[in-house]
Amino acid sequence: MRNYLREAPIKLVFRILMSVLVFDLFYLALAVIENFLLDLSSPRFYFFSYSTIIHGLLVIIQMFFVLYCFIKWHTSYFLIEDSYITSMSGLIIKNKKLINYANIRSVNYEQGIFGRIFNYGDIAFELIGTGKNLVIRNIDNPGELVSKIEKFTGREDKNLK
């Protein structure tokens, strides 16, 4: 059995909307600077003003940022298999990490208020011998996935059934 996990799409949408908000604040600040702080009585003899060029650059930067967010979301995923978990990421430089189920001490998940509303959350694996936790952030249906992983590891709680 193979399960591919990516960050919840609602988080991608939220990240893009926040970037739009930040860039809109830059546009607003640029308009305020242009209209209230610059000398508007001087004649303009050029076709493009500096603010038009800056607006264009901000739009291009914003488009690249949105594209970066989408590519990062699309190329970063986890693969849940029968004997291990694989973390894959990267478009040009590929990163791959394998975690054997035998090295997992416990599996927990956490959901905040928005996570409960939109059904996403973080899954934390406590690893044996390393003292480290592996956290998979913003995954859809974390409770269901933790149940599947606990079945694979043989650590499912029989009292909950």
Please state the length of the chain. 161
Element (H, E) at 138: strand 133-140
| Phi-psi group of 90: left, alpha or beta (phi > 0 → left; psi -120 to 50 → alpha; rest → beta) | left
CATH code of the domain containing 114: 2.30.29.30
- Mean pLDDT, residues 65-79: 91
Do residue 88 and residue 151 come from a single domain? Answer: yes
pLDDT at 161: 43
Joined together, the tokens standing for residue 64 give: 């690249």
- Domain residues for 90? 77-155
Question: What's the pLDDT at 80?
Answer: 84
Q: Does one domain contain both 98 and 57?
A: no
Co-location of 95 and 118 in the same domain? yes
The stretch 7-22 carries a mean pLDDT of 90
The beta-strand segments (E) located in the chain are: 3-5, 77-80, 84-89, 95-100, 104-110, 120-127, 133-140
Per residue in 47-71, pLDDT tens? 556 677 777 888 899 899 999 999 9
In-domain check, residue 161:
no
Indicate whether 60 and 95 sit together in one domain. Answer: no
